[in-house]
Every structure is written in C-alpha cells, then in structure tokens.
Amino acid sequence: MKNRAVVFAYHTIGCTGIESLIKAGFEIITVFTHKDSPNEHIYFESVAKKCAEHNLMIFAPDTINTMKWESYIAELNPDYIFSFYYREKISMNILELAKIGTFNLHGSLLPHFRGCAPLNWAIIKGASETGVTIHHMTDRLDAGEIVAQQKIPIDINDTARSLLHKMNIAAELLLDRTLPKIKSRNYVTISQQESQASYFPRRKPEDGLINWDSNSLSIYNLIRGVSAPYPGAFTFYKNQKIIIWEAALLTHNSQNDKNSAPGTILSTDPLIIATLDGSLEVKSCQIESLTDSNNTPITNIWLNGNQLAKHFNLNRLDKFGPVKNKQEKLKTVLIIGVNGFIGQHLATRLLADGNYRVHGVDINDSAIASLKNDVNFRFYEADILLHKTQIEFLIKSSDIVFPLVAIATPESYTKSPLTVFELDFEANLEIIRHCVKYQKRIIFPSTSEVYGMCNDEKFNEENSNLIMGPISKQRWIYASSKQLLDRVIWAYGSENQLQFTLFRPFNWMGPGLDSLELARQGKSRAITKMIANLVDGEPIALVEGGLQKRCFTDIEDGINALIAIIENHNGLCDGQIINIGNPENEASIAELANRLVNAYVSHPLSKYLPKPLPIKVVDAMDFYGQGYQDVDFRKPDISQAKNILHWTPEIALEQTLKNTLDHFLRQAVKLNKNQSSYEALK
C-alpha cells in the first residue's frame, strides 16, 4: 500500500505536517494551500516554499469547495486526507473521497477551544494548559473523534509568540508519534464530550481594544494573547492609538489610588495604569502613525512606558481609553426569553464574540447562570405579562430586540388557547409597539407553523400561502398569533416606522431544548418528550403513528444564521423574512424515535437507566385532546438564507441527535441514584 495522501496546509504548522508525513513514509500526491494576503503580516513559514523543496504538486485556489477541485481530488483516489492549519472548512464531498481516513491537526486540547485562533483564545481566557489534537474530520468543525493529543503548559509569562513556538514543537512530537500508528491503522479513537466543548470565533484586529474596566488579569491576558506577531492589544490617548506589546501584573497596590477610575495613569515612571481591581505596568508599546516636526508619519517606533509618557507629556490622573465619538460602542442586544432554548445559545455566542452587550430577560436563570459572571451580560428577572414598565425601559435602552418568549407546544395550543393568545400575541404586540416608539431594530422569531396547512412542496417566504385549519382546530391559535404579528411588523416596516427582520426556525434541536421536567409535565417538544420517556422507563408514544415529516436543524447552524442577521452587512436583512432550516435533515417523527432509541442503547450512560420499551402508537385525540391537527410535512426553501446571509446548514441530523441525547442523559444520570457510578464514568 502506497498510503497516498492529499494535504491541506498553511502556516509553520503546515510545513511541520508535511515534513512529518514524508518522514513517516506517506506519499503526498498534492498539496493545497492559501495565497498570502497582502493585508496580513506574514510571520510564519511558507508551505509553497516547503513544497518546492520536496518537488510536491501544489495549488492555492480561492476556495477548495467547488466541483472542479472535487473532481480533481476524486481522480487522485487518495487513501488519506490531512489538514494542518488550513483556513477553509473542507466539504464532506471532498472528505468522503479519502478511502481510509481524514485527519486534522488542531491547536488546542479538544473539545476545548474549537474554532478559530485557539492559541490566542487559550491565553486570553487564562488557560493554564492547551495542546494539539489530531482528530477525524466530520461535517462539524473540530468535532470529530480524537486520535491523539499532546498537552502544552501555559506559563503566566507566555505570550502568543512563545506559545506558538511550544505548539510547533508539540505538533512535531505528536505527529511523529501518531502518524506511524495511522499508517498501520493501529490506533484507538475517543469521542469528544459535547458538554465540555467550547467554541470561539475568528479574531479581528479591532478585537484587541483594551477595556480598562476589566480586571488586571483579563487585560494582561489579552495583551500577551495578541502580542507580536499578532496585531496587538491597543488603547487610545486622546485620538492617538497606542499598541501595548508587553505589560506586567503588579503584585502590590502601593501605587494604586483606589479612587482612580479604570484607565487612569497612576505613575509615569514607570508607566502604571489603573484597572477595575488594581493596576498594570506598561513595559513595551508602539505609537501608531507617530509624526515628526514636518508632520511626516514615522512608523514602527517602539517605546517603553516611560518614553511613551515623555512623548505625550503624560501626567498622573490623565486617562487612557477609547476614542470619544469615534470608537463604535458595543451594541446592546435585548433577549426577552434568554433562559429558553434559542435565548441561552444566542446569548452565549454573542458574549463569546465580544462585540455585543447582552441584556437578558426571563422568569428564571437556570440555563444561563454561568453567563452572569460576564461583564457584558445583565440578567433581569421579569415576566412580560406583569413587568411591562421594566420591559419598555429595557427596549428603550437597547439597540436590537429579540422577543423569544412564546408558548410553543401542542398541549398548550389545545388545552390553554387563551393563555397562548395572551402571551404569544398581546404581550408581543406591546413589544413591537415599543420598538416602533423608540426606533429599535427588532429581529422577530416567527415559526414554521405560520404556514399552517400549506401544501407547497417547499415553503417559500415570499410566495407560499399561509393556510389555517378550521376554527374548531385550536391547535392553530399559536400559528395565527404569530402570523398576525408578522403582518403587523411588515405593515410598520412598509411605512418606514420599523427596522425589522423576521426569521423562521424550522425544528431547531440541540442541548438545552426544553428540560426533562417540562417534558414530564407535557410542556416540551417531541424530541425531549421521547428522551424523558426513555430515561423514565416509559414507552415512546407516536401520535397517529408519527408519520409527520419535519426538517431538523442543529442549534449551532441556527445560531450561525442569527449572528449573520444581527451583523446585517450592508443592511441586506432589513425588511426580510428568512427561513432557517435544513432540508437535508428531513425525517418522520417515527424515524426520529427509532434513531433515538438506537442512539440511547449505544450510549455508555444508558446502562444506568431503564431499557427502552417498545414504541406505541396513540390517537391524537387521546394524546392532545380535542382541537389538535397537524400537517404531513414542513420543508423550508432556504435560498433566501443562502443568498442574503451566505449561510448553509452543515450539521447532519445524526450528530444533532447524539448531542441532544448526550446532554439530557448526563442530566438524567446525575439526578439518578448512581451518582458515584456517573462520576467514575465521567
């Protein structure tokens, strides 16, 4: 066997990966890399030069995920596909061309620090260790089974540069140890624990702005986490940008005037700046666009803290901070219903992004308690039916409003229709009117159910008719409320009184979808109810045989779409209705139940729980009561989302199902008497 490999590589780690493959005896048949950006400081080794040294075929396309390159790689018939710091996500169409396996080298100890810039984020978040991981590539970024890992300790004095050096050494050690095992197929993989996963977005140079209202350690970690060769952490004195490359944590407070506001200069020699809880000493910095006596820009002038103070003639009690009236302040996103399924995931993602302040409203904080330590998060315990004055004040104080509060379960539609109308229509109508009054942008969640009994093969935002069932079918009171609100919002928008985007989430699923307790009370979605049946030793009940088909969408895909709507590049989302669903993940409720049972049986925690009972079929009247009606299918047309948001769902139903089940089984076993067994397993 020749062990033919197609390689995707960039950066110094990419060069290390190529050398390691050659050393291990793999035949590299083609390498794909990136063109160096003229706007980026290139501090790392060139994969193109490395390929020239070894006479390897190399390409640098703008994008790899095209039919042209799929066909080319298919003709190569590779045994393996390897990725080393390649910056574009590789499609499953390409990954499936590898006959034996696909392997990626990621710069963290997965499942921690998934996503972009894991090295920088590890320092910024104050981690004491990180590492490198070799894992299988799947349709989810950095989520495949782990093949091997190498830990790297992070010292309190480590910077991005020193950690990068450590990481390259660790990558070489890990590859040299693991590639022979991959070649001989003599290795064991372990699944990633989704409950331990953390995802971080790509960092931009502007993310380096120092918030002096943070504590000293957080600012210190930011400075060393984005220090050279990265763009650097920065602040402003008046209108002049200053990049701080190196700082020192002070071990005493003798210089610190406790009455000084964060950002205040406490000393000029050495240069010491007040923070929220102490102070930092500036050791090395750079003035961007310093000018001489002829007003000619002089660049790359590096100074120590005292030299900086002399240049600006700084005095004690002068202040550093953002440029007044020039720095864009953090936008405030108000999430009404933040403790709910979408609310908790959206708030978590916005806070991780770092560009938003989140105000969350709900009647409790059980799902988002961990967010309350974030300086950019404020939680308000309130009921929109009771605390109307407070809700109005919060809308007035926000930039973007997400009203996510709704009663959205079939039991409620049929058994408490007036309560559904009061909350889902009347209370939300008040929120819309406040947004009009205070000129706030609203992003409103309609649902796929506004389509009612529509028979279109694919539901289109612009053209599909919205059809309700007979008046006696109270099941549609929720859909009618949502549809009427859509029309009210559209009417306000057509008169230029409201900036809005409507989004329709098609059967989003994932960890945190309802709760087992709500499922036991009959107040949850179908998937959570099924899981509750399994953990309680009850048979899953399929209404009318579970023949209805739905298109299930992973919450991570859904949140990615919402982030694009919030960012609203060039205002393209204004006045739009956007379906957010996954047409490829269509399955009947019966099929979903059978897949769930199979996943449950194979899950390691199921041995602490009851064995599944046979699935039973129930009558809709017996299960939901009078007034229930449903549709056979509900498939979205997502061309609008693709064109406006440049968004395509990526996560397969099987993976979403596993993640959701794992989340609830860990909760169930933790609450079970087998506490010690669970902890041992964990």
DSSP category for residue 369? G
Q: Which residue has the tokens 């590898």?
A: 98
Decide if 262 contacts 317 (C-beta within 8 A). Answer: no
Regarding beta strands 240-249 and 279-287, do their DSSP bridges make them parallel or antiparallel, or are they unpaired? antiparallel
Give the Å distances, CA to CA, from 117 to 85, 122, 124, 196, 201.
10, 9, 11, 18, 8
Which residue type occupies 206? E
Neighbours of 176 (CB within 10 A): 14
Q: Is 220 helix (H, G, I), strand (E, B) or coil?
A: helix
Angle, helices 428-437/477-494, rounded to nearest 10 degrees: 10
At 8, which helix (H) or strand (E)?
strand 4-9
The 3-state secondary structure of 492-520 reads HHHCCCCCEEEEEECCEECCCCCCHHHHH
Instruction: Tell me the three state secondary structure of residue 668.
Output: helix
CB burial class (10 A; 0-12, 13-18, 19+) of residue 366? exposed
Query: Catalytic: which of 11, 634, 650, 666?
Result: 634
Whether 106 is catalytic is yes
Which residues, 6 or more positions from 257, have their beta carbon under 8 angstroms from its beta carbon?
264, 266, 274
* Cα separation, 96 vs 652, whole angstroms: 14
Catalytic-role residue among 4, 11, 34, 106:
106
Backbone φ, ψ for residue 342 (5° rounding) = -70, -40
Per the structure block, which two tokens stand in for 125? 């978040």
Question: Which residue spans within 264-372 are E strands per DSSP?
Answer: 265-268, 271-274, 279-287, 290-291, 297-298, 302-303, 331-336, 356-362
Cα–Cα nearest to 94, from 124, 72, 122, 116: 72
User: Which one of 172, 194, 449, 650 is the catalytic residue?
Assistant: 449
List of E strands, 70-197: 80-84, 101-106, 114-115, 129-136, 146-153
Radius of gyration in angstroms for the set of CA atoms belonging to the chain, rounded to a whole number: 28
Residues sharing a CB contact under 8 Å with residue 279, sequence separation 6 or more, in sequence order: 216, 250, 253, 255, 256, 266, 272, 273
* Angstrom distance (rounded) from CA 358 to CA 338: 10
> Whose CA is closest to 337, among 431, 462, 265?
431
- Residue 16: Cβ within 10 Å count: 25
- Catalytic residue IDs: 106, 449, 634
